[in-house]
Amino acid sequence: MSEAFDGVLVQGDQLKWIPDGSGNELKILRVSSETGAWSALVRAPAGQVNPPHTHLGPADFYVISGVVDYRAGVARAGDWMYEPAGAVHEATSHPEETVYLANVYGPVAFHDEDGKIVHVLDWRVVERLAANAG
């Protein structure tokens, strides 16, 4: 979903879940090539552990259902989380199936236990996922 100059209505129930390659699935709502921001619904299966990563830009998240266990605490349905640029996560886990809204305002660098960057998730990757999903 590339950024449009007019208002945009996205009917989430019309979107299909797209595997992101890490175990999560996305419903991509918006991608901005101008700002690098993107928004998506994220569905994590029970037991999903997202690998260590660093937010190179800020991000905020709203938990719709389930649980997110991360460095700042445990977030449940109705909770909102904010991550500033530079926030480092050792891991983020989902003890039960979880759906949350992610608004990401810059790249996310995934790294191994030694801190070496192994993958970068940015608007280009998200746009490619949407395009490949048809």
pTM, rounded to two decimals: 0.90
Taking the CA atoms of residue 13, residue 35, residue 80 and residue 74 in that order, the dihedral angle to the nearest 10 degrees is 100
Give the HSE-up count for residue 6: Cα atoms under 13 Å, Cβ half-sphere: 2
The pLDDT profile of the chain, 134 residues, written as one tens digit per residue, is 555 567 788 999 999 999 998 999 999 999 999 999 999 999 999 999 999 999 999 999 999 999 999 988 999 999 999 999 999 988 899 999 999 999 999 999 999 888 899 999 999 999 999 999 87
Taking the CA atoms of residue 103, residue 51, residue 22 and residue 54 in that order, the dihedral angle to the nearest 10 degrees is 40
Domain 17-132, classified CATH 2.60.120.10, yes or no = yes
